[in-house]
A and B are shown apart, each in its own frame.
Chain A
Amino acid sequence: MSDPKSLLVIDGNEVDVRPGETILHAARRIGIDIPTLCHDDRLDPAAACRLCLVEVEGARLMQPACATRTSSNMVVRTAGGRVERNRRFILSLHLADTIQERAVCEDNGPSRLHEMAELHGTAGVWPAIESERAARPDDDNPYVAFRPDRCIACSLCTRYCDQVEAVSAITMAARGARTTVSTADRLALTDTTCELCGGCIDVCPTGAMSERPALVYGKPEAELEKVRSTCNFCGVGCQVDLNVDRAANHVVKVTSPPPGTTVNDGNLCVKGRFANDFIHHEDRLTTPLIRAEDGSLQPASWEEALARTVEGLARVKSEHGADALAFISSSRCTVEENYLIQKMARAAYGTHNVHQCAAT
């Protein structure tokens, strides 16, 4: 397929050159995984973290694989002393800029930075970098907690907000070691264009952006069990992971499966990610109710309630015919439940009067 002239070489393997492709993606095609920290396939590269530097023959400095486009006759080395030394150096540097102890750093979600450090090693523990990062003013938004002391200025969150959610609620502010995330005019997040999608939390490699309710709950993600399910709000059908505290029978938070794996490509909206308080809300119905003589609804056993249900429906049917019954179901219920309710209408009661409540 490929023109023999438009080849490049990565670690001794010949690879065809595709227009616009980066070294990172060309390498992935042949099964070479170059470690990255500030890269995300959904975002334009920022080349901010320098973890992905590789050697390119003829270039004096190493080049970021996430941002460098391939060209014919390019010769790339993704391993070897210089490349690996850089990785360890960069990982030590970033660790010194955040929480060095993995368990503490992962009090909310997993940290990609620590994961990379464990995988590729470091150049030792360096003294913590004392940066005076300007914190945002206290922010009372219920969902996104920002802990500036952990931020390594990789700009994943701001690029996500800008390019994927496209609301640009947060930006990188200040320079050098003081660079951090802020909002325009340092407003509280809920006073900005922020739509509380929580994407910034998901992409952050250090837990600087984290989920407030889960932090308050106090169990790190690693101690929760993930149950893959489908969001119950709109018709997109985002796949979600319900993060469950098994002992407490409690859904602590909802996260997205990794990008590139499901229909939502790692994204969620405010409802899917955060509007789950209803699950454990105190207003949930917990017992059947039946209408008493005095007209009030009173708690009853399932036995009584089901008997009353069947008897009431049977009476209407015998007095007025099957078509005097109507069954309304919900698109909130599962396919199986909708199948069963139409079976109930058609087979148990003998009417086609069954409709789900939403026409679209």
Chain B
Amino acid sequence: MTTYGAGAMTNSIPEIRDADFLLVIGSNTSEAHPIIAMEMKRAVRRGAKLAVADPRAIWMTEIADWHLQIQPGSDVWLLNAMAHVILEEGLEDREFIERNTEGFESVAETVRRYSPEEAETVTGVPAATIREVARAYATTPKAGIYYTLGITEHTTGTDNVYALSNLVLMTGHLGQRSAGLNPLRGQNNVQGANDAGATPVFYPGYQSALDPGVRRKFAEAWGVPQSDSPGLNLNQMMKAMDDGSIRGLYLMGEDIVISEPNVAHVEEAMNHLDFVVVQDIFFNESCRFADVVLPAACFAEKDGVFTNSDRRVQRVRKAVDAPGEARADWEILVEVMRRAGLEQPDYPSPAEVYDEMAALAPKFSGISYQRIEAEGGLQWPVPTADSPSTEYLHKGGVLRGKGLFQAVEYRAPAECADPEYPLVLSTGRTLYHYNAGTQTRRSAGPQLKQPEAFVEVHPRTARRLGLDDGALVDVVTRRGRVRCRAMYSRQVAKRVLWMPFHFPEARTNYLTNDAGDAVTGTGEYKVCAARLEPVAEQGPAEQRFRGAFAAAGAD
């Protein structure tokens, strides 16, 4: 985030157990990050207060002191109202604001208009609860905020993060153990992929690709001039594939045909491409569009590092040989570059690749395989070989000068419920499956616990439609229609539906909205308007559904 330094957890995972107040927002922690949830449970057992803001009554709400059951997409209202309370009651940390931040006035100005009473009508959270939680947060020194995709997967994702960061800055809950702002990364190495520069705007180590000086540095290092035309983010790539400005695609380890919002559209766009390479461990859905498929090694078959949510660079070690002729992704990439005419050093192992990157990115310059071997995982920044691992960020003030307040106004989600699509559909992951399901759906346990695609629907909503628990139903949005099983659930509010996205035979992302956040381009997976259509003839439908499942499922 641009507010203070690079986007990463400011605290460490082991610090969570010592927090005295936790605000968990847009994170189904016990399912998406079970081990972080264990740390939170531990804090709560010790007596920490827990507030969970989520449209669903997720498991964490069972041990929470407060469940703020917000209407999907109304986060900015909630967070601004909390800021409103903090300022109204004089609970802000004047000294911290004075010393470490900029732009406080404009935020104070903005949030004055966000009263908890009005917030109640938009978010559905009682004003009294908002006040209580705001007070508890502001007055507890060791107070941490934890969020994930529930915050970022919106057209207003960036605003949501600003609103959170404003709370952190005005209370000074930063630069200490157990107090900070913590995005929990959804996938093993999201942090590391960003760190390594697999993003159009940054070279490795968050060095701006828009900065000519940075480009010159890399041009020199790699011996090739660097383009000054800005790159496209994922969301823009999808659109460019559609309008024909992107004609060739190299896909490494991702199944965009299942993981991207508005999948039908993506499939159509894939058809327009002249040339597609897919490099993966399984024959995934995207392979159907490929000109070349390259078999890759999985994590157990190669060396390297992953960087986790708390900036910890840890080793991946080769345990077994890859099957058949499959090769490690890094070896394939080096070979392709060579054949494309870019001379490559003879990397004996990924350790030397890491060294090359570390030499170009000051944040990681002090990290090496030898150090990881000797000290265990290292948390960046580690600028030199003698700098220690960094447990929490912004110690003694804010990184890179001053922390910038950013006033944000509420904007409604790109798509709201209306008479034609009266419900709000939200999506997410579950404990037992993982992303496109290519790995977990080949495992017995997850298959036993959650064998089929389902949609969670409040019993009242279901009964009004004459829908039985377990019946097949069509979920319909402006983009598509997906058949799955209705599951009665009081976890969701009455006008809200929730679906996991792990099931290829019922692709949730046929339904979701690809309207992207203005800054990050992240699709709005979390909110779109939908309706339910009961399936008239359950018998035959049931047989077809089972058939689809058998075709898509494990073995």
Contacts and interface: CB of A to CB of B under 8 A. Distances in A.
Interface of A: 42, 141-143, 163-166, 190, 195-197, 227-239, 242, 244, 249-251, 262-265, 267-271, 274-281, 283-291, 297, 302, 305-310, 312-317, 319-320, 322-360
Given A263-B13, A346-B218, A359-B520, A336 B339 contact: no
Given A232-B439, A340-B333, 17 more contacts: A235-B186, A239-B377, A251-B320, A310-B339, A323-B245, A329-B193, A331-B188, A331-B189, A332-B188, A334-B305, A334-B316, A335-B357, A337-B350, A338-B192, A344-B340, A355-B200, A360-B183
A3 B167 CA distance: 41
A268 B248 CA distance: 40
Interface stretch (B107-115, B137-145, B226-234, B410-418): B226-234
Given A269-B34, A286-B326, A344-B336, A357 B197 contact: no
B508 interface: no
Nearest to B246: A326
Interface in B185-221: 185-201, 203-204, 209, 218
B395 interface: no
Contact of B298 (A232, A268, A271, A306): A232
User: DSSP class of B's interface residues: helix, strand, loop or mixed?
Assistant: mixed
Contacts of A302: 325, 327
Contacts of A164: 38, 41-42
B488 interface: no
Contact of B319 (A227, A236, A315, A320): A227
* In the complex, the 5 A-B pairs of residues with the closest C-beta atoms, listed nearest first: A237-B308, A286-B324, A352-B231, A334-B304, A235-B185
A309 B294 contact: yes
B424 interface: no
B35 A335 contact: no
B198 A343 contact: no
B33 A275 contact: no
B186 A358 contact: yes
Interface of B: 12-14, 32-36, 38, 41-42, 45, 63, 148-149, 152-153, 157, 183-201, 203-204, 209, 218, 222-227, 229-234, 237, 240-241, 245-254, 256, 259, 274-275, 277, 280-283, 287, 290-296, 298-310, 312-321, 323-330, 333-337, 339-342, 350, 353-354, 356-357, 376-377, 431-432, 434, 438-440, 442-446, 448-449, 520-522
B406 to A, nearest CB: 19
Given A229-B317, A262-B376, A325 B197 contact: no
Contacts of B522: 359-360
- Most chain B beta-carbon contacts within 10 A, residue among A251, A308, A338: A338
Contacts of B280: 285
A329 B195 CA distance: 13
A232 B306 contact: yes
B446 A270 contact: yes
A249 B297 CA distance: 14
Contacts of B198: 329, 338-339, 341-342, 354-356
B333 A290 contact: no
Contact of A341 (B41, B200, B227, B333): B333
Contacts of A42: 42
Given A141-B448, A346-B227, A334 B189 contact: yes
A325 B376 CA distance: 39
B309 to A, nearest CB: 4
B277 A356 contact: no
Given A285-B283, A360-B522, A195 B431 contact: yes
B234 A230 contact: no
Contact of B448 (A142, A275, A297): A142
B257 to A, nearest CB: 12
Nearest to A283: B282
B292 A336 contact: no
A100 B466 CA distance: 61
Contact of A356 (B193, B241, B443, B446): B193
A289 B295 CA distance: 8
A272 B307 CA distance: 16
A285 B188 contact: no
6 contacts: A236-B13, A236-B308, A309-B292, A346-B227, A357-B256, A360-B522
A335 B313 contact: yes
A269 B445 CA distance: 12
Nearest to B161: A360
A45 to B, nearest CB: 14
Contacts of A262: 376-377
Contact of A271 (B201, B339, B350, B434): B434
Contacts of A350: 224-227
Contact of A232 (B296, B299, B315): B299
